[in-house]
Amino acid sequence: MYKFSNLNQALIGMSKELLEKGVERKTRGFSCVEIPHPVQICIENPTDRYINIPERKWNKTFGWVESLWIASGTNHMGLVTPYVKNMENFSDDKKFMRAAYGTRIRSFNQSFKDYKISEPLSGVGIDQFRFVIETLKKDINSRQALITIHDVNKDDFEHGKLKVTKDQPCCRSLQFMMVDGKLDCTLLVRSNDLIWGLSAVNIFNFTLIQEYIANILGVEVGKYYHFANNLHYYSNFKDKIEVFADLDPNLYPTHEKWQYKSKIESLEDFDRLLLELFYYEKELRNKGTEGLMDFKNDMFND
């Protein structure tokens, strides 16, 4: 297991590991370098989820926007493409992201049709946030508080043949468990790109969910475990990996917990505030570029 204090140090440390131990593989017409075994990463201070490494050119705004997208349970591209236009390249129809995590987490259903949810908190299907919270409220030491992201009805076959899609979910399951009085979180990922997945949004998004749940339960945030069955980078980004690997992780320590102070006491309270934020962002987005800048300035200041 690789242990790091925060996301900055994880990016530096795993860049070094990939350069030292990575092997080349050809996949889908691209060359990538991967660690030839599953990787488990422990982030000991998961609320320290910002990347402050200048060379990374990390998009802080998009981390927050995608977290809003996930928590709202929607998968319409209109919320994310104004911030990252490239997201359209991973959508089959450029209108919905079929493998978006939010719909699966907050509206999981048994339909064979792909999710197409534009409005937040649709109330259709199973809200897995609610399942986790109620499971741990019933028994704080339960080992059953797990969220399923992979949906066999939608992801495996279509009309009796293997599903053909640009977008299969990389993250597959999420588990929460109390350890030493704090809420730990473990994410299982089938395949993980160090630059565009792990360090861009994955750890940011899922540690924030860990913090939501901890706040609602009234417990402290514990450790975050990131289990990637395949961790890699694409060969054309080797120069960036070399830059990250050459950095001193001691220059990016965790001086304090970054946990936000919250008085959220229930999922209903969380959802009420979520709806306010969702429609506030939408209103500003409809105003165009000026509105988006207002949103960034208002909501994403350090």
List pLDDT tens digits, range 229-257: 999 999 999 999 999 999 999 999 987 66
Residue 111 pLDDT? 94
Q: What is the CATH number of the domain that holds 66?
A: 3.30.572.10
In order, the DSSP letters of the chain are -EEESSHHHHHHHHHHHHHHH-EEEEETTEEEEE-SS-EEEEESSTT------GGG---HHHHHHHHHHHHHT--BGGGTTTT-GGGGGG-SSSSB-TT-HHHHHHSB---SSPP---SSS---SB-HHHHHHHHHHH-TT-S--EEE---HHHHTEETTEE---S---SEEEEEEEEETTEEEEEEEESSEEIIIIIIIIIHHHHHHHHHHHHHHHT-EEEEEEEEESSEEEEGGGHHHHHHHHTS-GGGS---S--PPP----SHHHHHHHHHHHHHHHHHHHHT-HHHHHHHHHHH---
Residue 292 sits in which domain range? 2-299
Amino acid at 108: F
> Residue 28's pLDDT is what?
81
Kindly list the distances between the CA atom of residue 271 and the CA atoms of 259, 282, 286, in Å, as whole numbers in the listed order. 19, 16, 22
pLDDT at 60: 87
Does the annotation count 170 as an active-site position? yes
Answer yes or no: pTM beyond 0.85.
yes
**The predicted structure's pLDDT at residue 300:** 46
List 32, 42, 170, 185, catalytic entry: 170
Residues of the chain with pLDDT under 70: 256-260, 289-302
The sign one gets for the Cα dihedral 179, 71, 207, 273 is: negative
pLDDT at 297: 55
pLDDT at 16: 98
Domain count, the chain: 1
